[in-house]
Amino acid sequence: MIGKNARLIAATCLLALAVPAYAGSVNKSVKIEPGTTADGASSVNGSVTVGEGATVTGDVETVNGTIRVRSTAIVEDVSTVNGSVKIADNVQADSLSTVNGSVSVGAGSSIRRNMEAVNGRLSVENGATIGGSVENVNGEVDIDGASIEKDISTVNGDIQLKNGAHVMGDIIVNKPSGWGWNNNKKRKPKIILGRNARVDGTIVAEREVEIYMHETAELGGVSGKASMEDVVRFSGNRP
pLDDT per residue as tens, the chain (239 positions): 545 555 544 444 444 434 444 566 678 899 999 999 999 999 999 999 999 999 999 999 999 999 999 999 999 999 999 999 999 999 999 999 999 999 999 999 999 999 999 999 999 999 999 999 999 999 999 999 999 999 999 999 999 999 999 999 999 999 998 655 555 568 999 999 999 999 999 999 999 999 999 999 999 999 999 999 999 999 988 89
Q: How many residues does the chain have?
A: 239
By the 10 Å C-beta count (0-12 exposed, 13-18 middle, 19+ buried), 32 is classed as buried
Determine whether 198 is exposed, middle or buried from the number of CB atoms within 10 Å of its CB (0-12, 13-18, 19+). Answer: middle
Q: What contacts 86, CB < 8 A, 6 or more positions away?
A: 66, 67, 68, 69, 104
In a domain, 215, yes or no: yes
| CA distance linking residue 35 with residue 222, whole number of Å | 47
| 239 domain-assigned | no
Q: Is 16 helix (H, G, I), strand (E, B) or coil?
A: helix
What is the CB neighbour count within 10 angstroms for residue 65? Answer: 23
Which amino acid, residue 72? T
- Residue 88 β-bridge partners: none
Predicted TM-score of the model (pTM): 0.89
Structural domains of the chain, count: 1
Cα–Cα dist 36/52, whole Å: 9
Does residue 156 lie in a domain region? yes
Structural domain that includes position 211: 2-234
Residue 66 domain-assigned (yes or no): yes
